[in-house]
Chains A and B, each alone.
Chain A
Amino acid sequence: MSRTCIRNIDVIYTPRQELRGYSILIEDGRIKKVARDACLGNAEIIDGRGLHATPGLIDPATHIGVYPLEWEWGDHGVEKMDVLTPHLRVVDSIDPFDKAFKEALESGVTLVGIHPGSFMSFGKLVDKANLMPGITAVYRTTGKPLIEEHGIVISIGEHVKRFFEENKLTPTTRMGMLARIRTALRKASEGKDEADPVSEALRRMLAGELAAYVHAYTSRDILVLVNLLWGMGVRRMIVVHGAEAHLVGDELREKNIPVILGPIVFSKRGVELKELDSSNPLKLEGKVVKYALTTDHPTIPIQYLSLLASVAVGEGLNPRRAIESVTLSPAEILGVSREYGSIEEGKKADIALWTGSPLDPEVRVAYTLVEGEVAFERR
């Protein structure tokens, strides 16, 4: 049995309160005890004095490993053999040696969602596009998958339209995109073609086994796609990007749909991103059931996830809510909050130890623990 104890931590951020001068005992990768006297008995000791403890940060919608940093333009994120490929699995495209994994650990990030599809590159909004680029995964930042198949990405909007048009592909209008998606879903629900991998993947989404990630920016695109999916019986939906999600908060709340917002620091380029702003987390407060922040890495490098949370505080968001938006909320959105997302007894010991308040730019991550193991230590 391996036992580690972080002793006398200045501040521990828990969902309900900030604990001062407490210790955390970790046994076999799980948080065994959070108490003033948790460090009794044999255990490897980490001195927590002067440190603040948060849960390991979680970014639920990155492209880590798919577009490795400082790499050639090899694209393993958007398949071009068809415009609708929901059966592709992003795990088959991920480079576990992308240095972004290491940079994530160095900045307290322990869990990431990884999405196929395009990121919001600069220059052109996307290099390529696909209406359904594939199935997302959830990874530990140590490079090991936690959930290999999490949800199907469905992407519509101006950038998709433009890409199809430039490449002489179809469809080239919103009505065309929606018709393609509707037809594919109908075919899947009829279940006539057992061997068709596209239908098989979509059936799993219709059955709720896979989530539906609605990648869209504007209120009109969010609504039209959500309503289509809802009408076809999809109940597990997550909106991603959502530059205008605050404008359709009521509709999303009614259907219990959370939002993965961001990146909240990005160019307001094109009509679709006009409403994108760092004040959007504040605008979503009380409007939707839940929201989390994303870097959309590599758009904003993963190491700046906590910085995005600080920026939201500058806009008036409560600091506790800002920390929640990069810890517990993304865990809940990913459906892993029984094990991850907060410092509570029984959960996996994914913990970041900071040299002060995690929202302060002068503060560094001193240790990152992934399931009880020290995965990063600043020397």
Chain B
Amino acid sequence: MKALIGARILRVSAPPIPEGIVVIGDDGLIKSVGSVQEVKPPRDAEIIDVKGKVISPGLVDAHSHLGLIPEGMDWEYSDVNDYYAPVTPHLRAIDAIDPYDEGFKHALEGGVTTIYTGPGSANVIGGIGAILKTHGESLADMIVKDEAALKMALGPKRQREYKSKTPYPTTRMGTVAVLRTWFRKAKMLQEGKLDEDKIDAEEKAMLEVIGRVLKGELIAKIHLSTSPDEILASVRFIKEYGLKATIDHVFGGHLVADMLAESRIPVVYGPPMIARIASFFRYVDDRAPAIMYRKGVLVSIMTDHPVIPEKHLRTLAAVTVRNGLSLDEALQLITLNPAKAMLIDNLVGSIDPGKHADLVVSNEHPVKPSSTIEMVLVRGRIAYSRN
């Protein structure tokens, strides 16, 4: 058992504790949390004195490609986008992840302990993404969910130069139609309306993955909503099939914030600070997370690592502070909100008994870029220490 004593504790799920204690069990879970007056450390606990420091939950990124383009490697080593076909739901990120990507280590230095990582936006349906810890003895040890979400993407598809078995759609209506065709078929398969013997093995594998999305076992993660009309198309599609979903990138979301709030679909904005280098980015506005937050949308922000390195998730939270959120609100966007969006808020995202003891110790509020992260714990183990 360990007890971290004396720090200001930003629980996220509850108001901050000015001088608190977190007790961690040998199972790597948080045993108790409270003020130093309320909670006493167990007699056999290893005491870690963090007086004057700040403890926050390990940070969570709901959208990255960590481990799929290892740092220091060139694009030849990229395993993000496969142009095999416009629809490839049976591809799994977990089969490509390099657990030795230095990016995991650097993510820890930035206080990030849980990440979603998955295929890119090249295909209409790209494959299955995973949720991992950034620290562990092996890839198996890092896995939170090896199959967490099915990545889909609207946005322009420009892969016509690739020789795929089937052509890519080139319009948004074409893209949505491809999605709908596959979901409809998967639903018919589930309902026994198709002759299974007539479906070849690969197609069946693909339809089964989509079937799991229909059943709510996998999150529908819809990328590349780079304009309000794409967001509207995503919402329509999600409602049509009653999916558990997130809308990612969500540029222009501030323009349809009321509708998003009403839909109760979580959104993952970003990455903030992105280069607006083409007209394609005309709806990018870093005020969007704050505006959507105020309207009641469940907002998270992403690094889209390697677009912005995972280590700088908290820097991106600071960008939302510059654009209208408080430090504590911004902290929600990189802890509890992404945990909720990925349906893992029973495990991570706040400092509560029973959750993973993923903790960040810093000298000041971690959303201040000028603060320094001094120690990071993952499931109760000290995974990073500055000294």
| Chain A residues proximal to chain B, CB less than 8 Å | 67, 69-73, 119, 121-122, 124, 158, 265-271, 273-274, 277-278, 298-301, 304, 307, 310-311, 313-316, 319, 359-362, 364
What chain A residues lie within 8 Å of B372 (beta carbons)? 314-316
Cβ A362 vs Cβ B278 within 8 A:
no
A270 with B72, Cβ < 8 A, contacts A67-B277, A72-B279 known: yes
Bound complex: CA A266 to CA B308 (Å): 6
Pick the residue among B309, B326, B327 that contacts A265 (CB under 8 A): B309
Docked Cα-Cα span, A364 to B367, in Å, equals 16
| 28 sampled A-B residue pairs with Cβ under 8 A | A70-B276, A71-B278, A73-B278, A121-B277, A122-B274, A122-B275, A268-B71, A268-B306, A269-B75, A270-B72, A270-B74, A271-B74, A273-B72, A298-B275, A300-B275, A304-B319, A307-B273, A307-B322, A311-B315, A311-B369, A314-B369, A314-B372, A359-B369, A360-B370, A361-B321, A362-B326, A362-B327, A364-B322
Does residue B239 face the partner (Cβ distance < 8 Å to A)?
no
Q: Once the chains bind, are B309 and A268 in contact (CB under 8 Å)?
A: yes
Contact B369 A313 (CB under 8 A): yes
**A310-B369, A361-B369, A362-B327 known; A269+B306 contact, CB < 8 A:** yes
8 Å CB contact of B370 from A71, A269, A301, A313: A313
How far apart are the CA atoms of A273 and B69 in the complex, in Å?
13
Most buried by A among B69, B102, B277, B281: B277
Partner of A319, one of B281, B327, B370: B370
Q: Is the CB of A270 within 8 A of B312?
A: no
CB pair A267 B370 closer than 8 Å: no
What chain B residues lie within 8 Å of A277 (beta carbons)? 106
- For chain B residues 213-272, which have a beta carbon within 8 Å of chain A? none
In the assembly, what is the distance between CA of A311 and CA of B318, in Å? 10
Q: Are B321 and A69 in contact, CB atoms less than 8 angstroms apart?
A: no
Q: A269 — which chain B residues lie within 8 A by C-beta?
A: 69, 71, 73-75, 306
Do B309 and A310 have beta carbons less than 8 Å apart? no
B145 CB-CB contact with A under 8 Å: no
Q: How far is the CB of A219 from chain B (nearest CB, A)?
A: 15
Q: Name the contact of B312 in the complex, choosing from A69, A124, A311 (C-beta under 8 A).
A: A311
Min distance, Cβ A368 to any Cβ of chain B, angstroms: 15
Q: Would A310 and B318 count as touching, CB distance under 8 A?
A: yes
Q: How far is the CB of A306 from chain B (nearest CB, A)?
A: 9
**A298–B277 contact, CB under 8 A?**
yes
Are A270 and B73 in contact, CB atoms less than 8 angstroms apart? yes
Q: Which residue of B lies closest to A271 (CB)?
A: B72
Contacts of A359 in B (CB 8 A): 369-370
If A70-B282, A298-B276 touch, whether A267 touches B307 (CB-CB below 8 Å) is: yes
Give chain A residues whose Cβ lies under 8 Å from the Cβ of B282: 70
With A and B bound together, what is the CA distance between A361 and B312 in angstroms?
14
Judged by a CB distance under 8 angstroms, whether B180 is at the interface is: no
Given the interface pairs A72-B278, A307-B319, A307-B322, the reply to whether A268 lies near B369 with Cβ below 8 Å is no
Task: Give Cα distance in the complex from A269 to B70, angstroms.
Answer: 8
Q: Considering only CB atoms, which chain B residue lies closest to A107 in the complex?
A: B322
Q: Binding site of B, secondary structure by majority: helix, strand, loop or mixed? A: loop
Residues from chain B with a CB closer than 8 A to the CB of A316 are 372
In the complex, what residues of A have CB within 8 A of residue B327's CB?
Answer: 361-362
Q: Are B307 and A122 in contact (CB under 8 A)?
A: yes
B312 to A265, Cβ gap below 8 A?
yes
B308 x A301 contact (CB < 8 A): no
Of all chain A residues, the one with the shortest Cβ separation from B386 is A316
Chain B 308-334 interface mask (CB, 8 Å, partner A; 1/0)? 110110010011011000110000000
> Are B306 and A301 closer than 8 Å at their CB atoms?
no
Is B371 in the interface zone, CB < 8 Å from A?
Answer: yes
What residues on A are CB-neighbors of B321 within 8 Å? 361-362
The reply to whether A70 and B367 form a contact with Cβ atoms under 8 Å apart is: no
Min distance, Cβ B289 to any Cβ of chain A, angstroms:
13
- Check: B51 CB closer than 8 A to any chain A CB: no
Interface flag for B368 (CB, 8 Å) = yes
Q: Determine which of A71, A270, A299, A362 lies in contact with B275 in the assembled complex, contact meaning CB atoms within 8 Å.
A: A299
User: B residues within 8 A CB of A67?
Assistant: 277
Chain B residues 34-66 with CB under 8 Å of chain A are none
A119 cross-chain contacts in B, Cβ below 8 A: 275, 277
Q: Please give, as numbers and ranges, the residues of chain B lying within 8 Å of A361 by CB-CB distance.
A: 318-319, 321-322, 327, 367-369
Residues of A within 8 A of B69 (CB): 269
Nearest residue in A to B373 (C-beta to C-beta)? A314
Q: How far is the CA of A296 from the CA of B359 in the complex (A)?
A: 34
A316 vs B318: C-alpha distance when bound (angstroms): 18
- CA A71 to CA B369, docked complex, whole Å: 30
Other A-B pairs beyond A270-B73, A307-B273, 17, CB < 8 Å: A69-B276, A70-B276, A71-B279, A158-B74, A266-B309, A269-B69, A269-B73, A271-B72, A278-B311, A298-B275, A301-B275, A301-B276, A314-B368, A314-B372, A361-B322, A361-B367, A362-B321
Distance of B312 from chain A, by nearest CB (Å) = 5
Shortest C-beta distance, A99 to chain B (Å), equals 9
Question: With A and B bound together, what is the CA distance between A266 and B321 in angstroms?
Answer: 20
CB contacts (< 8 Å) of B315 on chain A: these are 265, 307, 311
A122 to chain B, nearest CB (A): 6
CA distance A362 to B322 in the complex (A): 6
Distance between Cα atoms of A105 and B281 in the complex (Å)? 21
Look across to chain B and name the residue whose beta carbon is closest to the beta carbon of A73.
B278
Are B277 and A267 in touch, CB under 8 angstroms? no
Closest B residue to A265 by beta carbon equals B312
- Among A265, A278, A298, A362, find the residue whose CB has the most chain B CB atoms closer than 10 A: A362
List of 9 A-B pairs having minimum Cβ-Cβ separation, nearest first: A274-B72, A313-B370, A310-B369, A361-B318, A267-B306, A361-B321, A268-B71, A70-B282, A270-B74
- Residue on A nearest B304 in the bound complex, by CB: A122
